[in-house]
Structure 1
Amino acid sequence: MAYQATVLNVMIASPSDVIEERQLVRDAIYEWNAIHSKQFGVMLNPVGWENNVAPQMGSRPQEIINKSILNDSDILIGIFWTRLGSPTGEYVSGTVEEIAKHCEKNKLASIYISKKSYPPNIDLQQLQFLRDQTQIWLKEGLLEFYDNHSNFKQKIKDHLSIQIQNNEYVQSILTNVLPSSTQNVANPKTTIEPTEEMVQILLNAGDAESQIHFRRYLGGQSLFVGNLNLDLDKARELAKWEDALNELVNLGLIKDRGYKGELFDLTKEGWKAFDQLKAQLEESK
């Protein structure tokens, strides 16, 4: 069933040392769309200079990026690890310029800084530049730190829902674009974020057109769906996957077939979420 959604451009701004994180942000956005686009009435569109800027002469490179994508972006996600980036002639780096100009317009910007172990042959001058800039940013707002990719990706999905519901700039767009009768912003108390486990269950069930089997046996349980086959004999892992199933049921994406919580099928909305997720993941390759 068709639904109305407001498209918000999300600019991914970063130096060259966080290429993996850039893709993780795109993946997180696609997964968020698959689960929450209809719920919030919002479709997030990730943009970045490497995919959305064509060659052009006549101005300094950073100004071309600003005109091509930054000016039309509603949300900016900045990512840093060991580098601040190269100076632009006006700012200490291109990414810092993007963040500054974005914030000048009171738009939503979120900055994430990696605490992962540093690689060999690190540029110590760039690291110091980043540390100095971090101290400036800490005086201007809140930063978020992460220490692994899984943690980072989940933070992005969690924070997007919080920001879309509460950020004044985003809410002003939604209020002005959508009539009050069609706004579909979820109650934050009932919002459930898609975890990696939820996404794996959806993708495996859809790819294999398979039912989801969650079987109990002496000493543990097993989860089998498509190419995903897990023996859950540890309490922590069992709780994680069982919670993922329960949340998918609560969202109406899968349904219990009446076998005491041991057999599930994708619902119509679940198939829609799967199709959207697959299409967006293909676009990101």
Structure 2
Amino acid sequence: MRSTNPVLRNLPEKVANNGYEGGQTATLPGRAPEIDRNRPMTVDDVVTKTSITLGVIVAFAAVNFVIFLSGNVGLGSILTFVGAIGGFITTLVHAFRREFGSKTVTLIYAAFEGLFLGGFSLVVSGWFTAGGADAGLMIFQAILGTIGVFIGMLVIYRRGAIRVTPRFNRILTGLIFGVAIMALGNLLLAVFTGVSPLRDGGTMSIIFGVVCIVLAALSFLQDFDLADKLVRTGAPENAAWGVALGLAVTLVWLYTEILRLLSYFSDDR
């Protein structure tokens, strides 16, 4: 079953192609058992590696946050740009890797994305214009909203309230591609004309932001479903790093959209 998340999209095929059989290893007579470096992945592996990934993101976000607040806005802006480009390239590298799951790639992505989020959060929340207290509250609300949506979708998935079917995947994939095309068109329009109807805080921006939040939330269902399949099919423990990266991508998308939406209402006030 395919996912719209670029990191997790080909995950089931990669599991099949690598011939994972539950992580069994052979032991020669008269020799001590070898350590199984491809033991089956567990839910605990996913939780642990996702936590580590998110921890790295938060740490590097804090680093760029401090750089900005220390008055070095130029360096902070450069790191934010590098983080955005580096995070995007890293997800592409992981998506086209032959093997699924890499600790190195996942942590590199987390470092890049952390740098991006540190600067992005300050700028979008209006830290330098609205004041630190109001901006800090907005960032905190966006974090709480992201955590709340994540937990809510996990509960929905576990209870089977929304089933991840091939039809569900096709519809969600089409909608996300449509949103991506609209976002790209809006970016080009902003670059060449200075007009950004989907990000200017108007009514269309609010509607677009709500749609993106809903799609990001639904993407969690696909991520959970694919991770569940990996555990049940006996994928190796290292694959949990790929799951962690995929979940981090969706979490970052959701957080940025929630923060943007909150900033629109803040501007209205």
TM-score normalised per structure 2? 0.24
Quick check: which has more Rg, 1 or 2?
1
Task: Name the one with the larger strand percent.
Answer: 1
Q: Which has the higher contact order (CA 8 A, sep 6+)?
A: 2
Task: Name the one with the larger helix percent.
Answer: 2
